[in-house]
Amino acid sequence: MKKLIILSLSIMMLISCTMNKDSAEKGTIFYSEFDTPFGMPPFEKITNDDFKPAFEYGIKQQSEEIDSIVNNPEAPTFENTVLALDNSGAILTRVSRVFYGLKGAENNDTIQAIAEELSPLLSEHSDNIYLNNKLFERINTLHKDSANLGLNTEQYRLLDMYYKDFVRSGIMLNEEQKDELREINKELSALTLRFGNNLLKETNSFTLVVDNEEDLAGLPQGVVSAAAETAKAKDMDGKWAFTLHKPSWLPFLQYADKRELREKLYKAMYNRGDNDNEFDNKKIINKIVNLRIQKANMLGYDTHADFVMEERMAKTPENVYKLLNEVWNYAVPQAKKEAAELQALIDAEGGDFKLQSWDWWYYTEKLREQKFALNEEELKPYFQMENVREGVFATANKLYGLNFNKLENVPVYHPEVEAYEVTDSDGSHIAIFYTDYFPRPGKNAGAWMSSFRGQRIDNGENIRPLIYNVGNFTRSTPEAPSLLTLDEVETLFHEFGHALHGMLSNVNYSGLSGTSVPRDFVELPSQVMEHWAFHPEVLKLYAKHYETGEVIPDSLIEKMDAASKFNMGFITTEFTAAALMDMDYHTQKEQREFDVRDFEKKSMAKIGLIDEIIPRYRSTYFSHIFSGGYSAGYYSYLWSEVLDADAFQPFAEKGIFDQESAKSFRENILSKGNSEDPMELYKKYRGAEPDPIYLLKNRGFVN
């Protein structure tokens, strides 16, 4: 994984503070480690004016460091070349983590303008490093002689990573081709940034305003109260507002009796970026796909997917299609059965219409209640956000001995952010962990994990990481605290699994630490954590009624377990459809004009996606692949599920807090970063490669 300045745009957030400084001081706050508790970013002292000067100085500093490596008269060694490269750019890394790490949480026009101005500079700087012939000569010399250098596994892994980064960045091209590649990289950087900005603006631009209380029929009181609060915040007192943020649109789709309003809100959601307006993403997608084809072809690959897979566990697009198609063949028949059940329910109620995609959630909730006497509103009182967070902390404590101590009066970037010191069972410091869980107009959709500082060893000192989780969960209302849906509970556990991967990292080199692993391995720690979320033994630790403190009763747990595989055909089909569409885009071999709507339609028709379901992400808001780091990689969640379903088996067989299994998982997976080949790490933990049967069992497709 390339270690450098341009952090994934899918995990960006902003900081917006106001503190005047003399122009000579702008940016200098990033020039050294922060003089704060645990080295936490001093957000109250940082202004938007600091970013550009700090980036420019950071680029200058790293360029000088690269020159020093290149012009070193001594023969190349691991220390004076590979390690020096890995340690270079400290200022640039520091400002990048704060700027990009914070951009996604509270974006505005000023921050977007800074990001757009920086984009070509950072792209050019990256190319200046990875297209530097003299620097590559030193790396290549070491790589050719690696067998005689006495390197340990981790050192060779770092050397090999940088060697491949140079090759995959185009170092073997002639100078004319390199110039062309530089322009492609700049344009791709700008386009992916614009895609994300357009999506954020589209998400914020639509509001379904309800001014007739009768149109709220079917909605739970908590949903109504949240909509009233949203309307109030938009200066529409006495009305109810529903937005395209998932905690708002999803419950409306689940419970609102007014079918035409469900249709209106759902279509607004799935047409984001596809409205032929100033925020339309179709032309951007067309350019991105073609530029990726052009770049892959220049580098000697048939397709962008071939380029990506070379450094993934999957290795080839064919292997990805094989997995996706196998799962698809189980999922679609099940989805068709589910659609037939929902249609029968519609017919039984006297509905004179065919089931549509905007009906699915509404009738699924009705069917769930019929089959299992289970209504999600009955469960939500037991899932207060703070209790769920304590639940993941308690799980981490029982598994790995970790303790979480809330910090007061420490710098955070928003009043809703909370910070914790994480310590090991012996009291030693492990990490700082930030949580930021509620939607805001400037925050990107979804949930993610990243870091303000990664883990590494520096002159014998183990520099511990600063990790954060960001989400968009249901807010509190005047009547009740934040009460999470089952999907939100699972997401909180998922992102915390990523956080553990970052927090427990214990490697030597920055370029290999934490989550710097292949994309189809990075989801293993997060997805395996989901297995604990609804286990009865874990539920008893944290699922307590927000009013009475009563622990969730066994009767509800039994209903949850009985319904755990309900609607799995839909869930699997919508995900796999999106993953296959991603692969279809990125296995194109020739540049051409892509009619995005037509391409998407044909892609879904080819696999037989039923009319009642759309892909989890349509193209124009598929930020994972067009503004994040998951191009030709959305399959990774399913690939990692093969791993996580198998990885949980020792706990299923020996006990969910089995200490031997937890110790092995921590030592061989969570602490190792990218210091060894992922499959070798997995086999050290499990003793063998994963068995895919557990994925199919978990989804209820086989017994």
Q: Between β-strands 429-436 and 466-470, what pairing exists: parallel, antiparallel or unpaired?
A: parallel
Q: Name the token pair of 227.
A: 């909509």
Distance of CA 34 to the CA centre of its chain: 27
Give the integer Cα–Cα distance in Å for 90 and 96. 10
Q: Between β-strands 207-210 and 456-458, what pairing exists: parallel, antiparallel or unpaired?
A: unpaired
Give the integer Cα–Cα distance in Å for 99 and 91. 12
Give the integer Cα–Cα distance in Å for 389 and 244. 25
Give the integer Cα–Cα distance in Å for 8 and 423. 28
Q: Name the token pair of 663.
A: 């110790």
Q: Is 435 helix (H, G, I), strand (E, B) or coil?
A: strand
| Cβ neighbours of 249 (radius 10 Å) | 20
440-474 exposure pattern, b = at least 16 Cβ within 10 A, e = fewer = eebbbbbbbbbbbbbbbeeeeeebbbbbbbbbbbb
Length of the chain: 703
Give the integer Cα–Cα distance in Å for 253 and 351. 17
Strands (DSSP E) contained in 117-168 are: none
Who contacts 521 (Cβ-Cβ below 8 Å, separation ≥6)?
313, 640, 643, 678
Strands (DSSP E) contained in 188-260 are: 207-210, 240-243
Give the integer Cα–Cα distance in Å for 515 and 506. 11
Do residues 176 and 152 touch, judged by C-beta distance below 8 A? no
- Kindly give the residue spans of alpha helices, DSSP state H, lying in 549-595: 554-562, 568-586
Do residues 96 and 6 touch, judged by C-beta distance below 8 A? yes
Tell which residue, 492, 422, 415, 427, has the closest CA to residue 464.
422
Tell which residue, 472, 509, 512, 469, has the closest CA to residue 493.
469
Who contacts 555 (Cβ-Cβ below 8 Å, separation ≥6)?
none
Tell which residue, 121, 3, 101, has the closest CA to residue 52.
121
Q: Name the token pair of 534.
A: 């609804």
Tell which residue, 183, 225, 197, 210, has the closest CA to residue 9.
197
Q: Name the token pair of 642.
A: 């093969």
228: alpha, beta or left, given left = phi > 0 and alpha = psi -120 to 50?
alpha
Q: Is 416 a catalytic residue?
A: no
The active-site residue, picked from 495, 600, 612, 641, is 495
Cα torsion for 611, 629, 169, 55, to the nearest 10°?
140
Q: Name the token pair of 185.
A: 């990289």
Max distance between CA atoms of the chain, in angstroms, equals 85
Distance of CA 76 to the CA centre of its chain: 38
Q: Name the token pair of 28.
A: 């200098």
Q: Which active-site residues does the annotation give?
A: 495
